[in-house]
Amino acid sequence: ESINEDLPRIDICSGEKDGRISINRGLLQSPNYPQYLRQYVSCMKQLHVPRESRLRLFMLEKSLDYYQELNIRLLNNEPNTQRTLAKNELFDKNITNPLSDEIVEIELKTNHIGTGNFLLYFQGKFFFFLLFSSLLQIAQ
C-alpha cells in the first residue's frame, strides 16, 4: 500500500483565498503534478498545527531546478529560518509552545519556466491522540 493512495491532494497554487490548508494530513503538490512546472509561479500555503502537537513533513518527490525554490518556515517558533527538504527527507518536530499554535508556511517560487515538480506529505497531530493510541495498543 502506497502512502499516496488515499490521502487528499492539494495543489500549492490552488485558489483558496487565504492559502490555509484545512486538513491535518495529506499531500501538497506542485501544479499539475506529476507533470513538470511549465510556468512562472509564486504560491504559498499555510498549515496550522495545534499547540502540543507533532508536525511531520516528508518529501516524497522533489526535482526542482536551481532557479525554483520550495521553502518551509515555522512562522511562530522560527520566523527567520527558511528550510528546504531533499527527496526522502523527513522533518519531524514536536510543537511544544503551550501559548500558540504553529503556522507552517510552504512557498514555491520560480523565476524561469522549467522542468521541476514536488510531492510533500504533511501531518499535524495532537500528542494526546498519539498517547491515547499508544495506550490502547499496550492495553490490548
Rounded CA separation 91/73 (Å):
12
Mean of the pLDDT values across residues 110-114? 77
pLDDT over 50 (residue 35): yes
Residue 2 included in any domain: no
Residue 116 included in any domain: yes
Residue 53 included in any domain: yes
- What's the total number of domains in the chain? 1
Residue 1 included in any domain: no
Residue 4 included in any domain: no
Residue 104 included in any domain: yes
**What's the CATH code of the domain at 123?**
2.60.120.290
Residue 58 included in any domain: yes
Does this model's pTM top 0.85? My answer is: no
Q: Which of 126, 53, 46, 47 is nearest to 96 (CA)?
A: 53
Cis omega (within 30 of 0) for bond into 34: yes
In this structure, the strands spanning 25-29 and 42-49 are unpaired
Residue 114 included in any domain: yes
pLDDT value at residue 53: 87
| Range ranked top by mean pLDDT from 57-66, 97-106, 110-119 | 57-66
Which residue segment(s) compose the domain that 128 sits in? 9-139
